[in-house]
Amino acid sequence: MSFAHYSPKVFDHFLTPRNNGVLEDANGIGEIGDPECGDHLKVYVKIEDDIVKDIKFQIKGCPAAIACASAMTELVMGKPVGEAMLVSDDQIIEYIDGLPEFKVHCSALGASGFRVAVMDYSIKSKLFGATEG
């Protein structure tokens, strides 16, 4: 595999991923992928007043998957939840100036992981009535 297929922005997000790590006060957590044999993403969100106030992620994956997860955090941070939930795979790809066709599936990991974390937040807030933590 050649790295010549990747844009400078993919390399930037791969080498210096934004919002990487654990969010201790997350009120929503989403996991997607297979931790045993493939790409695996864990997304932590802090939602307050219907705004994505903070987001972090942990990932095991290829450079494209790491770049897409990092880009996703930048695209959803600070947005109202409803707007952030609309961030698409295509928007993530566009944000990092494209991916080779054989890596396009990596963009779905970020968007889907975020949506699972928001669903977790939504379920917890309905069950426990706690939207602030």
Burial of 103 (0-12, 13-18, 19+ CB in 10 A): buried
Locus of tokens 């955090």: 73
* Exposure b/e, 15-31, CB count within 10 A at least 16 = b: eebbbeeebeebbbbbe
Fold of 8-124: Sufe protein. Chain: A (3.90.1010)
Question: Is pLDDT of 65 > 80?
Answer: yes
Confidence (pTM): 0.89
The tokens describing 19, both together, are: 């919002």
Average pLDDT estimate for 67-92: 97
Average pLDDT estimate for 85-108: 92
110-121 pLDDT, tens digit per residue, is 999 999 999 999
9-58 pLDDT, tens digit per residue, is 999 999 999 999 999 999 999 999 987 778 899 999 999 999 999 999 99
Q: Write the single-letter amino acid at 109.
A: L
Residue 46: alpha-carbon gap to chain centroid: 13
Query: How is the chain split into domains, by residue range?
Result: 8-124
